[in-house]
Amino acid sequence: MLSNDVALKILHVVGARPNYMKIAPIYQQMKKHQGLFQQLLVHTGQHYDPNMSEIFFRELNLPEPNINLNVGSGSHAQQTAQIIERFEPVLLDFCPDWVIVPGDVNSTLACALVAAKLGVKVAHVEAGLRSFDRTMPEEINRVLTDHLSDVLFVSEPSGNDNLIREGIDKNKIFFVGNTMIDTLVQLLPLAKMRWEKLNEIYHLDRFILVTLHRPSNVDNIGRLREIVEALSEISIHCPVIFPVHPRTQKVIMENQLDCNNLTLVEPLGYLDFLCLESKASLVVTDSGGIQEETTFLGVPCLTVRPNTERPLTLTHGTNRLVSADKEELLQSMYEVLEDGKTIAPPSLFLWDGRASERIVKILAEMGK
């Protein structure tokens, strides 16, 4: 086994719920080659609620983070600034060869910026995705992180095209597949074993599963009211299970939105959510990752957004974009439920559960 002075020093950044599923398989792959990699896991604390954080570390077989920056909530400026301030001394102390940042949250950009300014190489997992909507904070994070990164790991073909069009050196771009799908492939059998227990709680033959968290839907009370009213009406015909994000719950309570017909539950762990997702008749969401998961599972998905940074889910998957308008959303939900067809999961290039293996191999070959 190689000594740590030869091993590549890797600093993984996680900050929000989707990051855990993207980093976990990479961390596990590197752990198989401990002589080649010395790993440090840093949690920025961007998601700090136990249901949004701690349970995921347990279920995804991630260790407790070596360091938690405990940033917490705040405006985008406050959160990004605090991460930058608290991350810099960690980076200076550990002196990694590579910083790996996944996704498009504030932690992604903040830590990439610190690393780039200190001359530490940055690898961006899930690079190149574009909604072409600069009103989305995530779009700003994606674009800037990609242009700061030394290596860009792409999950779908549109990512390659976007990066090349923006002038990024094609030698820095690697189409490796989707690490979120790696996690799904690994844990789906275990997740499905939880159905008997969950069905004892919900007693459902068919149901709609809902997630909503984006400010464009949640902070716009008119839009959120339209969505909730549509879900309440459809629930008369098909039960609705709605794991409520903390920010969504806060807005619902403050504005006294009527959710009496909906089954509101606390945010779920990864395994319980994946089990319900795989059994759902329909998923209604504004999440990027869920668009990908439902595509892989062959579950119909309606995304309440005017655009998506994951066009593969539209052209080759089960996803459709829908309006937040009550009548339009209702019509779309009725169409899916009345169709009732079982969708064969598509075979998508490199969505094979081995993206993390390809990432680890590339980084090992690149070295320090």
Residues that are catalytic: 213
Residue 346 · residue 295 · CB < 8 Å: yes
| Dist CA 155 CA 296 (whole Å) | 13
| Dist CA 293 CA 270 (whole Å) | 12
Tell me how far CA of residue 8 lies from CA of 26, 245, 266, in angstroms: 14, 37, 40
Residue 21 · residue 28 · CB < 8 Å: no
| Dist CA 31 CA 358 (whole Å) | 15
| Dist CA 166 CA 143 (whole Å) | 9
| Dist CA 217 CA 304 (whole Å) | 8
